């Protein structure tokens, strides 16, 4: 019997025993007072014959594999025991093959099983174990005997590392097993009590590989195995149609049960099973679904299902399609044991009658009185549809033979609330109070149907009861149920239940009446008396003696004492002791159950359960450190020096170490090491708690000295506007001029020093070293604003109350300049010449730069007046306010530039458009008389005419002396320019009214004013003439004479080589005084000028000259003056002339004397300047 099956039986017995012991004494007395009752009934049972399979039949099982023994025997360290999964079995083919030199029809069935176990520890590695098993079986169709099976097993281990899974191939194994002869797991037809055995030759081949499991060697062996139909009934599964199944138990060569099957006729196979696949791997399966389709079926009916040896008999092969007979269907008839194979065809009724001889071949298995039971097959090879039935041959066959099958009796015992089916393997016994139900089978082993009859049943107490037995076909069975309750006062000893079929001998054809009688024995004993002695308390790791030696059995025999104690992990430890004394030491504290199971020779069992309290042993621990002192803020490590907990359940970590410290441990608060960093000076004590797996705590303390240190790790943060600034890749903070920066300083020190730290800030150490700000506390906060751009260095030094300080922390801040800005300015309105334009400009910059800004106006952007950079950055006016006027619209700029520059040279600039517009002059004119006489000199004046200061200097005064006369011939009489000047004199010729127009002209079109003069006709008068021109004539004469005398004198004194014969005055050239005065470049002392004469006057002068000559009507006169021809040239040249040159020059001058008739005329206006004329007006 396998260990799981034995354990299950023990549990059932234990539960049954407990129920009996829990019965009330009144109930026990009631049972004792009642007489034993014998109740009986009978029922027919159908013959369970060989099932047939078809391709596609499928069985789906749930189950598990017990691989613990297999893996542990391989030497692999693992906690795996069971793998759960499914098994899918399908018939894939039906064909014939040669088996042991016989043509045999076989089924090929393939099974696929997948099994897995999670969180498996394999050699210290945790993961999931997966097993995939593919099995191919060859099964003989005539009796479902196994010919060969091949199993391929793939074992994989999914090793988990965090989130990754590494698949490890544990083993790949193929096992091939062949049996000769095939092993008969069933011996059809089945009956309760049937027993058969088989000896066979087995070959096992192993192929595969594994790094973890040793692959077995191939083997060949002769084996023997036996089977027995133990019972018929519910298999304990949920499959509804299999509640009448047969329990077929398998026994090895030693007679030990090593597996079982519950055969279900409705499922044509097993509804549950326990099978040894190979040594150490057991498979347990339970049917979940069964799929089969049978539209066309073949059945076989025998003339005599039980036949003598070598007996000619017949069978009918029936073919139906959906219940209807199929005619003309060819079938292959196979009586394989005798080699009888033939083809037959069904007749109109769908049946084919086949005559054959039963032969005398024995079965591959032995059991019972028959010679053999052989399957006969009829099948359609093309459609692979099979029909089968079993014929039993026996050399001792009677017409009728009713047999009371004593070996087939099963007993169902109810003890309390537990019901157990007894069999020969478990023993038949009972105790007072048990309710027994006997199942007594009766079989007709004759050729003919037996008539109905009776059976007398004699109970153990001698009472007799007659039970009706129905009519039975050949090999049919009937089961008689007999109920009997064991009295409480029933004595100890064997009892018998006897029964006899056809006690009156009414069936005369019964060929063997000796087997009509049957006797079944059962032992009535007593439950053993259990005694258990042990302490109620003990310490962990102490041996506890559990003594049940005082137990005994009233009905005698040996007792088996099985102790089962619960242990901390929830499992149990069991031990069977012959002396009924068990010693055990618990590793952990707690309350545990101790169960004693006393079993006698009759498998009667009594269970006693007591509890024991196991007390924990507290852990022990000590700690130490390498040093007895450390500096504050310096780490120091404490370690567990010794620890012990002898009753720990976690040897790799026998206790939980919890450090009780005011500072956190770097390694965590749990562990054997604790590195802390004290933050306060003085003595520091650390405590450790050791908590074992029972939550008991052990303590240990350690005290060290903590000494002062200087502040360390100065740090600074810079904030602006609520935002923390981040330095760039250089470690430099960036800010703008004028930004308000907040400096925050920190440093590390002991807790008792942090509140008194002195922070010394110098926000601008290089540029302003005298600016020092101090702050006391854990954190300093300082505000500062930089007004100059560039790199500034802030420093921080932190000092504690002991005078120890940090090194200076340098914080670089790069201040970026903010360019100045100019507020928008509206363009000024257009202005007239000399009008003042007022501009006021506003600038924006940081507060530090506002006082140093340079504000400039560049009044002439096109001219680079300062010879630096561009022309638009001149500083003509340095101010924010400009008041300026421009006198000349033509030279006034169209725009000016204002620019502002800060101390970093950053500049802002705007252009201001300027619109200076010309102002026309306001003309004024006056005349010396409005009624002159013809020939009088009239003076005109433009005094009083106004314009801009610049235009006053460039004004032209154009006079049209008679607007009715077109003197320039352009067709417009009103635009003539007869004379120009601010002051003019004019002599009118002819009498009459004259309209005189004076036009003042600047860069614009000019403005005009007119005067009307009435000229009277005047007679000629020499006195008047002399009065008018005498003075002028005298002046001219005096000047001419003086000039001639001067020239003559100079020539006589400077030219000694001249010929006195020549008159020197012949060299004189006539020059017009007007021309001489009008040509400012004319030099009478220059030789070339003297030769060329005065340059031609401008067109305007010519016109004036013409006008003077004509006097409007051509009567004006001009005065001629003879001027020496470059007297100074003669004097200067005479110094360097030789005699020949002098003579040549005299000759040339003499020749030109003949041409002296020409004269140059000068007007009085040209001869006299403006001052002379003003003087005349004043006189």
Tell me the pLDDT tens digit for each residue of 672-727.
899 998 888 889 999 999 888 778 888 899 999 988 888 889 999 999 988 999 99
Q: Note the pLDDT of residue 764.
A: 93
Q: Which residues pair with 698 in a beta bridge?
A: 690
Are residues 596 and 563 in contact, defined by beta-carbon separation less than 8 angstroms?
yes
Q: What does 165-192 look like in DSSP terms, one character per residue?
A: EEEEEEEEEEEEEEEEEEE-S--SSB-T
State the DSSP H helix or E strand holding residue 993, giving kind and residue range, or none if neither: strand 992-1001
Give me 428's structure tokens.
Answer: 């038949």
Share of the chain residues as helix, strand and coil, in percent rounded to the nearest 5: 15, 45, 40
Best CATH choice for the domain 537-615 from the list 1.10.3720.10, 3.40.640.10, 3.40.430.10, 2.60.40.10: 2.60.40.10
Are residues 809 and 715 in contact, defined by beta-carbon separation less than 8 angstroms?
yes
Q: Shortest CA distance to 178 belongs to which of 106, 268, 229?
A: 106
Tell me the pLDDT tens digit for each residue of 736-784.
998 999 999 999 888 888 889 999 999 999 999 999 999 999 999 999 9
Distant-in-sequence, close-in-space partners of 544: CB < 8 Å, separation ≥ 6:
534, 535, 538, 583, 584, 585, 586, 612
Report the alpha-carbon distance of residue 333 to residue 357 in Å, rounded. Answer: 13
Give the dihedral of Cα atoms 185, 187, 192, 193; nearest 10 deg. -90
Q: Note the pLDDT of residue 363.
A: 85
620-707, superfamily in CATH? Immunoglobulins (2.60.40.10)
Question: What are the helix and strand counts (H, E) for the chain?
Answer: 14, 76
Strands 983-987 and 435-444: unpaired
Q: Note the pLDDT of residue 1028.
A: 65
Give the dihedral of Cα atoms 258, 253, 234, 269; nearest 10 deg. 90
Give me 1077's structure tokens.
Answer: 């005065």
Q: Shortest CA distance to 9 belongs to which of 352, 444, 419?
A: 419
The per-residue pLDDT of the chain, averaged, comes to: 81
Coil, helix or strand at residue 641: strand
* Residue 1128 main-chain phi, psi, to 5 deg: -65, -30
Tell me the pLDDT tens digit for each residue of 19-49.
322 223 333 333 333 334 445 555 555 678 9
Report the alpha-carbon distance of residue 555 to residue 557 in Å, rounded. Answer: 7
Q: In what order do the strands lie in the sheet with 733-736?
A: 733-736, 809-816, 790-799, 758-762, 773-776
Residues in the chain: 1179
Instruction: Specify the CATH architecture of the domain 926-1015.
Output: Sandwich (2.60)
Strands 697-707 and 629-631: parallel
CA distances from 95 to 176, 300, 384, 748 (A): 20, 20, 8, 91
Q: Shortest CA distance to 979 belongs to which of 962, 991, 993, 995?
A: 962
Alpha-helical segments (H) within 490-544:
none
Q: Note the pLDDT of residue 608.
A: 92
Report the alpha-carbon distance of residue 40 to residue 498 in Å, rounded. Answer: 13
Distance, first Cα to last Cα, the chain? 172
Are residues 782 and 761 in contact, defined by beta-carbon separation less than 8 angstroms?
yes
Tell me the pLDDT tens digit for each residue of 773-815.
999 999 999 999 999 889 999 999 999 888 889 999 999 999 9
Strands 429-430 and 517-524: parallel
Report the alpha-carbon distance of residue 857 to residue 883 in Å, rounded. Answer: 11
Report the alpha-carbon distance of residue 869 to residue 877 in Å, rounded. Answer: 18
State the DSSP H helix or E strand holding residue 7, giving kind and residue range, or none if neither: helix 3-21
Report the alpha-carbon distance of residue 145 to residue 625 in Å, rounded. Answer: 77
Can 620-707 and 926-1015 be said to share one CATH topology?
yes
State the DSSP H helix or E strand holding residue 71, giving kind and residue range, or none if neither: helix 68-73
Report the alpha-carbon distance of residue 278 to residue 298 in Å, rounded. Answer: 37
Distant-in-sequence, close-in-space partners of 840: CB < 8 Å, separation ≥ 6:
880, 881
Positions of the chain with pLDDT under 70: 1-46, 68, 71-77, 122-124, 162-163, 277-279, 423-426, 649, 651-654, 866-872, 1019-1030, 1050-1179
CA distances from 47 to 134, 191, 248, 370 (A): 34, 8, 16, 16
Q: Note the pLDDT of residue 37.
A: 45
Q: What does 645-667 look like in DSSP terms, one character per residue?
A: -TT-S-TTS-EEEEEE-SS--TT
Report the alpha-carbon distance of residue 963 to residue 342 in Å, rounded. Answer: 164
Q: CATH code for 296-393?
A: 2.60.40.10
Q: How many CB atoms lie within 10 A of CB 1005?
A: 10
3-33+400-524, superfamily in CATH? Immunoglobulins (2.60.40.10)
**Per-residue three-class SS string for 1057-1099:** CCCCCCCHHHHCEECCHHHHHHCCCCCCCCHHHHHHCCCCCCH
Report the alpha-carbon distance of residue 41 to residue 43 in Å, rounded. Answer: 7
Q: What is the pTM of this model?
A: 0.48
The single-letter DSSP state of residue 768 is -
Report the alpha-carbon distance of residue 289 to residue 20 in Å, rounded. Answer: 39
Greatest CA separation found in the chain? 223
Report the alpha-carbon distance of residue 858 to residue 842 in Å, rounded. Answer: 16
Report the alpha-carbon distance of residue 1127 to residue 1048 in Å, rounded. Answer: 8
Q: Note the pLDDT of residue 1089.
A: 52
Are residues 321 and 312 in contact, defined by beta-carbon separation less than 8 angstroms?
no
Best CATH choice for the domain 821-917 from the list 3.40.50.2300, 2.60.40.290, 2.60.40.10, 3.40.50.1820: 2.60.40.10
Domain ranges of the chain: 3-33+400-524, 58-291, 296-393, 537-615, 620-707, 712-816, 821-917, 926-1015, 1023-1178
Question: CA-based angle 958:960:964, to the nearest 5?
Answer: 160
Give me 639's structure tokens.
Answer: 């370690």
Report the alpha-carbon distance of residue 757 to residue 775 in Å, rounded. Answer: 8
Q: Shortest CA distance to 616 belongs to which of 707, 692, 540, 556?
A: 540
Q: CATH code for 712-816?
A: 2.60.40.10
Q: Note the pLDDT of residue 59.
A: 95
Give me 725's structure tokens.
Answer: 């600034």
Give the CA radius of gyration of the chain: 74
Q: What does 27-74 look like in DSSP terms, one character per residue?
A: HHHHHHHSPP-EEEEEEEE--B------TT-EEEEEEEEE-HHHHHHT
């Amino acid at each position: 019997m396998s260990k799981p099956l034995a354990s299950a039986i023990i549990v059932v017995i234990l539960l049954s025993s407990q129920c009996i012991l829990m019965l009330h004494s009144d109930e026990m007395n009631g049972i004792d007072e009642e007489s034993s009752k014998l109740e009986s009934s009978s029922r027919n049972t159908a013959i369970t014959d060989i099932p047939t399979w078809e391709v596609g039949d499928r069985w789906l099982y749930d189950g598990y594999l017990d691989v613990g023994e297999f893996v542990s025997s391989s030497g692999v360290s693992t906690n795996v025991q069971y793998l759960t999964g499914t098994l899918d079995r399908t018939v894939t083919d039906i064909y014939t093959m040669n088996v042991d030199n016989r043509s045999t029809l076989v089924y090929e069935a393939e099974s696929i099983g997948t099994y897995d176990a999670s969180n498996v520890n394999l050699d210290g590695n945790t993961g999931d174990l997966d097993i995939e098993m593919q099995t191919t079986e060859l099964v003989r169709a005539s009796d479902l005997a196994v010919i060969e099976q091949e199993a391929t097993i793939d074992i994989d281990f999914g090793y988990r590392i965090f989130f990754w899974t590494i698949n490890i191939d544990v083993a790949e194994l193929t096992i091939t097993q062949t049996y000769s002869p095939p092993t008969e797991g069933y011996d059809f037809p089945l009956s309760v009590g049937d027993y058969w055995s088989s000896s066979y030759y087995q070959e096992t081949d192993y192929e595969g590989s594994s790094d973890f499991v040793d692959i077995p060697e191939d083997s060949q062996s002769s084996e023997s195995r036996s089977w027995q139909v133990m019972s018929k009934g519910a298999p304990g599964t949920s499959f509804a149609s299999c509640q009448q199944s047969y329990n077929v138990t398998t026994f090895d060569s030693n007679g030990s049960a090593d597996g079982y099957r519950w055969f279900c006729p409705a499922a044509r196979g097993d509804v549950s099973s326990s099978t040894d696949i190979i040594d150490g791997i057991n498979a347990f399966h339970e049917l979940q679904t069964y799929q089969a389709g049978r539209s066309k079926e073949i059945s076989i009916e025998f003339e005599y299902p039980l036949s003598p040896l070598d007996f000619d008999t017949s069978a009918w092969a029936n073919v139906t399609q959906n219940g209807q007979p199929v005619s003309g269907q060819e079938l292959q008839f196979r009586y394989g044991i005798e080699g009888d194979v033939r083809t037959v065809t069904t007749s109109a009724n769908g049946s084919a009658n086949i005559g054959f001889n039963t032969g005398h071949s024995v079965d591959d298995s032995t059991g019972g009185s028959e010679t053999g039971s052989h399957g006969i097959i009829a099948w359609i090879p093309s459609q692979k549809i099979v029909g089968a039935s079993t014929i039993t041959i026996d050399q001792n066959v009677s017409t009728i033979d009713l047999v009371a099958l004593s070996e087939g009796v099963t007993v169902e015992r109810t003890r309390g609330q537990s019901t157990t089916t007894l069999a020969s393997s478990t023993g038949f016994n009972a105790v007072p109070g048990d309710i027994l139900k006997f199942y007594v089978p009766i079989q007709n082993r004759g050729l003919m149907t037996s008539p109905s009859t009776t059976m007398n049943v004699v109970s153990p107490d001698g009472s007799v009861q007659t039970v009706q037995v129905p009519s039975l076909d050949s090999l049919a069975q009937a089961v008689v149920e007999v109920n009997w309750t064991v009295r409480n006062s029933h004595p100890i000893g064997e009892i018998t239940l006897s029964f006899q079929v056809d006690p009156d001998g009414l069936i005369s054809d019964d060929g063997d009446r000796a087997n009509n009688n049957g006797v079944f024995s059962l032992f009535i004993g007593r439950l053993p008396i259990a005694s258990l002695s042990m302490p109620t308390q003990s310490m962990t790791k102490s041996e506890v003696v559990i003594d049940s030696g005082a137990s005994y059995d009233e009905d005698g025999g040996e007792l088996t004492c099985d102790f089962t104690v619960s242990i901390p992990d929830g499992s149990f430890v069991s031990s069977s002791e012959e002396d009924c004394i068990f010693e055990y030491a618990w590793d952990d504290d707690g309350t545990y159950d101790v169960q004693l199971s006393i079993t006698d020779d009759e498998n009667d069992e009594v269970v006693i359960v007591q509890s024991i309290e196991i007390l924990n042993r507290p852990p022990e621990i000590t700690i130490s450190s390498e040093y007895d002192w450390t500096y504050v803020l310096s780490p120091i490590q404490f370690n567990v020096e010794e620890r012990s907990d002898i009753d720990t359940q976690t040897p790799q970590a026998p206790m939980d170490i919890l450090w009780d410290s005011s500072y956190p441990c770097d390694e965590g608060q749990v562990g054997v090491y604790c590195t802390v960093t004290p933050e306060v000076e003085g003595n520091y004590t650390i405590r450790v708690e050791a908590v074992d797996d029972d939550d008991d705590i052990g303590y240990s303390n350690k005290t060290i000295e903590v000494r002062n240190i200087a502040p360390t790790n100065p740090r600074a943060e810079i904030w602006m506007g609520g935002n923390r600034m981040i330095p760039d890749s250089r470690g430099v903070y960036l800010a703008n001029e004028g930004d308000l920066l907040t400096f925050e300083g920190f440093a590390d020190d002991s807790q008792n020093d942090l509140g008194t730290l002195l922070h010394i800030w110098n926000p601008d150490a290089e540029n302003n070293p005298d600016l020092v700000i101090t702050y006391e506390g854990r954190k300093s906060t300082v505000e500062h604003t930089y007004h100059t751009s560039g790199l500034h260095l802030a420093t921080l030094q932190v000092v504690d109350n002991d005078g120890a300080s940090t090194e200076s922390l340098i914080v670089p801040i790069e201040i970026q300049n903010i360019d100045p800005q100019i507020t928008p300015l509206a363009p000024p309105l257009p202005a007239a010449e000399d009008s003042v334009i007022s501009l006021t400009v506003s600038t924006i910059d940081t507060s530090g730069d506002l006082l140093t800004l340079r504000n400039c106006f560049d009044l002439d952007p096109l001219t680079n007046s300062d010879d630096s950079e561009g022309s638009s950055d001149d500083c003509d006016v340095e101010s924010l306010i400009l008041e300026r006027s421009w006198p000349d619209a033509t030279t006034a700029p169209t725009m000016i530039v204002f620019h502002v520059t800060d101390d970093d040279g950053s500049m802002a600039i705007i252009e201001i458009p300027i619109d200076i517009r010309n102002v026309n002059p306001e003309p004024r004119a006056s005349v010396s008389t409005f009624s002159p006489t013809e020939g009088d000199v009239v003076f005109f004046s433009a005094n009083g005419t106004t314009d801009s200061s610049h235009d006053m200097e460039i004004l032209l005064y154009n006079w049209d002396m008679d607007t009715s006369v077109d003197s320039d011939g352009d067709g417009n009489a009103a635009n003539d320019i007869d004379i120009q000047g601010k002051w003019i004199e004019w002599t009118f010729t002819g009498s009459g009214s004259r309209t005189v127009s004076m036009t003042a002209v600047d860069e614009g079109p000019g403005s005009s004013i007119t005067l009307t003069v009435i000229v009277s006709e005047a007679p000629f008068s020499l006195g008047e003439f002399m009065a008018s021109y005498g003075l002028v004539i005298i002046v001219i004469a005096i000047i001419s004479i003086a000039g001639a005398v001067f020239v003559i004198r100079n020539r006589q004194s400077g030219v000694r080589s001249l010929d006195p014969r020549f008159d020197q005055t012949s060299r004189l050239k006539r020059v017009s005084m007007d021309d001489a005065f009008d040509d400012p470049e004319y030099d009478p002392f220059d030789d070339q000028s003297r030769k060329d004469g005065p340059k031609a006057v401008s067109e305007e002068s010519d016109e004036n000259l013409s006008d003077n000559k004509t006097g409007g009507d051509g009567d004006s006169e001009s005065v001629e003056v003879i001027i020496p021809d470059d007297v100074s040239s003669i004097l200067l040249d005479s110094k360097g002339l030789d005699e020949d040159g002098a003579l040549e020059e005299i000759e040339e001058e003499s020749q030109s004397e003949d041409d002296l008739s020409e004269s140059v005329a000068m007007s009085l206006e040209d001869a006299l300047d403006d001052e002379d004329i003003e003087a005349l007006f004043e006189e």
